């Protein structure tokens, strides 16, 4: 089977779907891996590294299986061989036009952000691997913008108090943000509507903020679920009081397939101290802060709100390594006897297959 790796076309995307290490692993498994010239250059992987690993440089678009990071552009879809297979983070749940175009060309597509959160799919979990990078980088962005340093310092010029950091959402990104802020010396707190994560937050040296009458919102697969209107209002009131004395607030809350919940209202931002920073990792799905503008920096009453997009692409080498291993494991799951075999009775395949036999499945 021929596996193709094109250069990503989305603006600002520096990751590559397969790095030389995993491309070489697939080549040793008997597949022909064809990598477009320059596909890995922005992530620090030159063409020569692929050829040394056993891959070939060439035109990937006619491959049997195309490995992508982000969804293909409308122009690129026309270059994919009819009947081929596409694997990538296709944002399928919110991209019906893409699914229609892929189905029209009878392309079988798998959207990796839909990998179920089950034990045997852990090595394919692209959301977790990329969220790890995003949580780490969010803290660095906050540290760069903040007028304070994070650690406590005792100097001849006096003692500097440590920064106070609050992380909303204790999923993979949130826990990595907590760990990174702690390593930088901040006093860190975490909040989540899932009581089960309290132990994880505290194991990283952070304080878990609990409401007096704790609302709970744990859904299927360990993800958060939407709260009732009353529960959400109590959550907003609690968080408005909690953010007032924070120097940095990092928000990571997401609900699969839905708009990100608003956790920090305009009024809550108005109550924060001047110089405080909000880094909203949910900016791509609407934002956890009412004032977030995706992809921009906004100043409101002395509070800076950052809405970064695609943070993993800003750390492309390690993000690509992690993503590539997810992709290679998924490909090995799909391929039997040298070809893609779509078994819709399999839980992983069924959850991720978004177009098959000329039809969209979402």
**Residues catalogued as catalytic:** 117, 122, 125, 128, 223
Helix (H, G, I), strand (E, B) or coil at 128: helix
Helix spans in 11-125 (H): 20-28, 47-53, 74-77, 96-104
Q: Which two tokens stand for residue 149?
A: 């340093």
Phi, psi for 182 (deg, rounded to 5): -65, -40
79-84, Cβ contacts within 8 angstroms, sequence gap of 24 or more: 80/105, 80/107, 82/106, 82/107, 83/107, 83/108, 84/108
Residue 259 tokens read as 């708009």
Q: Measured at the alpha carbon of residue 172, what is the angle toward residues 171 and 177, in degrees to the nearest 5?
A: 95
Distance of CA 226 to the CA centre of its chain: 20
DSSP-derived letter for residue 120 is G
Q: How far apart (Å, rounded) are the C-alpha atoms in residues 296 and 1?
A: 43
| C-beta separation of 336 from 327 below 8 A | no
Instruction: Of 167, 173, 300, 302, give the one whose Cα is nearest residue 246.
Output: 167
Copy the structure tokens of residue 144. 């760069």
CB 242 within 8 A of CB 192: no
Distance CA 103, CA 358 (A): 4
Q: What residues contact residue 40 under an 8 Å CB cut-off, 6+ apart?
A: 5, 16, 19, 20, 46, 47, 49, 50, 320
Dihedral of alpha carbons 39, 44, 45, 48, sign: positive
């Amino acid at each position: 089977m021929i596996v193709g790796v094109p250069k990503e076309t989305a603006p600002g995307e520096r990751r590559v779907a397969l790095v030389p290490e995993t491309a070489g692993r697939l080549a040793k498994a008997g597949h022909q891996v064809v990598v477009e010239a320059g596909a890995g250059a922005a992530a620090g992987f030159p063409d020569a590294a692929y050829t040394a690993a056993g891959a070939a440089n060439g035109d990937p678009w006619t491959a049997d299986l195309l490995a992508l990071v982000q969804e293909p552009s409308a122009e690129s879809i026309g270059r994919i061989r009819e009947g081929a297979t596409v694997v990538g983070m296709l944002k399928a749940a919110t991209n019906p036009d893409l699914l229609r175009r892929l189905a029209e060309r009878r392309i079988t597509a798998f959207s990796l952000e839909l990998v179920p959160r089950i034990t045997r799919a852990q090595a394919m979990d692209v959301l977790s691997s990329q969220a790890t990078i995003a949580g780490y980088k969010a803290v660095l962005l906050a540290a760069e913008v903040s007028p304070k340093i994070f650690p406590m310092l005792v100097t001849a010029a006096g003692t500097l108090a440590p920064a106070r950091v609050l992380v909303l959402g204790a999923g993979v990104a949130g826990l990595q943000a907590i760990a990174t802020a702690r390593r930088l010396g901040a006093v860190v707190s975490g909040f989540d509507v899932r009581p089960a994560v309290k132990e994880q937050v505290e194991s990283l040296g952070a304080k878990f903020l609990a409401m007096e009458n704790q609302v709970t919102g744990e859904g299927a697969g360990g993800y958060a679920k939407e709260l009732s209107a009353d529960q959400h209002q109590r959550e907003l009131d609690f968080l408005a009081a909690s953010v007032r004395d924070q120097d940095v607030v990092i928000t990571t809350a997401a609900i699969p397939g839905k708009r990100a919940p608003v956790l920090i209202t305009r009024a809550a931002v108005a109550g924060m101290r001047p110089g405080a920073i909000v880094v909203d990792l949910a900016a791509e799905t609407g934002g956890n802060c009412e004032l977030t503008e995706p992809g921009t920096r906004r100043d409101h009453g002395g509070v800076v709100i950052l809405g970064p997009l695609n943070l993993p692409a800003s750390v492309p080498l390690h993000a690509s390594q992690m993503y590539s291993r997810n992709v290679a494991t998924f490909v090995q799951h799909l391929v039997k006897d040298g070809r893609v075999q779509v078994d819709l009775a399999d839980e992983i395949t069924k959850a991720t297959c978004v177009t098959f036999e000329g039809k969209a499945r979402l």
